[in-house]
Amino acid sequence: MAIIINLDVMMARRKMSLNELSERVGITIANLSILKTGKAKAIRFSTLDAICKALDCQPADIIEYRAD
């Protein structure tokens, strides 16, 4: 897939655990794990907004497109 999710990279840069991000964003650890591993089919803009606020980053820091 050409869409790469760099959530784990941003979490590491911010020294934030999955549990802490889950609490700050208000979604389950299971759903964050699905997103983090790239298995999610979609993400709501409200969820992306909350993640960006919690990690103090831009959407492009989390979602990347790589041509095949």
How many CB atoms within 10 Å of residue 64? 13
pLDDT in tens, 20-34: 999 999 999 999 999
Task: Return the pLDDT at 52.
Answer: 97
d(CA 45, CA 14): 21
How many CB atoms within 10 Å of residue 12? 10
pLDDT in tens, 8-65: 999 999 999 999 999 999 999 999 999 999 899 999 999 999 999 999 999 999 999 9
User: Which domains can be identified in the chain, with CATH numbers?
Assistant: 3-65 (1.10.260.40)
pTM to 2 decimal places: 0.90
